[in-house]
Chains A and B, each alone.
Chain A
């Protein structure tokens, strides 16, 4: 990956980053440090933020969920928060229809729609379903 590339960040990476007990924590920290070193521009979507807050609040702690929310909502210069509009949701429905895998969520389809629309090539995610999507390079590489 070249320096200063834009990278979309999925919910599982944020969650693994913030959960020291997570089996994926060390890998998430490693990816995060690589992105920082390469001065990557990171982006995520409101649907992803919603997933992270929900999971952390329900299974970790409300304090951790709110810390994440405060960070995301108050630091717009460090991370681009993309809100899915009607155009993105319509495109996401198309991706969902044509996606062969069964275990995908609508937020997964929205991620693909946003990445295609914004021409973001890299996705930081531990979800294997994205590895089969043409035009998307998933980090960390296997």
Chain B
């Protein structure tokens, strides 16, 4: 999410058990619930297009556009742990 992004506040109605689960997930990722939700929303809107049924398999115009498809994962060390994750090294 860009630092210059304009934010707004909204009320979302959701089951208590889901909020509890979200708080737990945020705690596990050492994030706030707000940050976790923004990450999930960002992922859905920008890279989870097939989940929404639109633009399935559409590739960016160029390889140079790859950063536009970046999403929040809550994982700060993926790039450093390629061998560990891919090969269990």
Contacts and interface: CB of A to CB of B under 8 A. Distances in A.
The answer to whether A and B come from one shared complex is: yes
A63 B85 contact: no
A60 B71 contact: yes
Interface residues of B, number: 38
B70 A19 contact: yes
B70 A17 contact: yes
Contact of B79 (A22, A61, A67): A22
Given A59-B73, A63-B48, A63-B49, A54 B79 contact: no
Contacts of B89: 103, 105
Interface in A1-22: 11-22
Contacts of B7: none
A24 B80 contact: yes
B78 A19 contact: yes
A54 B86 CA distance: 6
B17 to A, nearest CB: 23
B47 A63 contact: yes
Interface in B27-52: 39, 42-43, 47-51
B54 interface: no
A63 B85 CA distance: 18
Q: Which of B69, B74, B89 has the most CB of A within 10 A?
A: B69
B14 interface: no
Interface stretch (A72-80, A83-91, A115-123): A72-80
Contact of B71 (A50, A64, A78): A64
A105 B67 contact: no
- Sorted from nearest, which 4 A-B pairs have the closest CB atoms? A78-B63, A16-B79, A12-B79, A60-B73
24 contacts: A12-B82, A15-B79, A18-B69, A19-B73, A20-B70, A21-B39, A21-B74, A50-B86, A55-B78, A55-B85, A59-B78, A60-B75, A61-B47, A61-B73, A63-B49, A64-B43, A66-B57, A68-B66, A71-B65, A74-B59, A75-B60, A79-B63, A103-B89, A126-B79
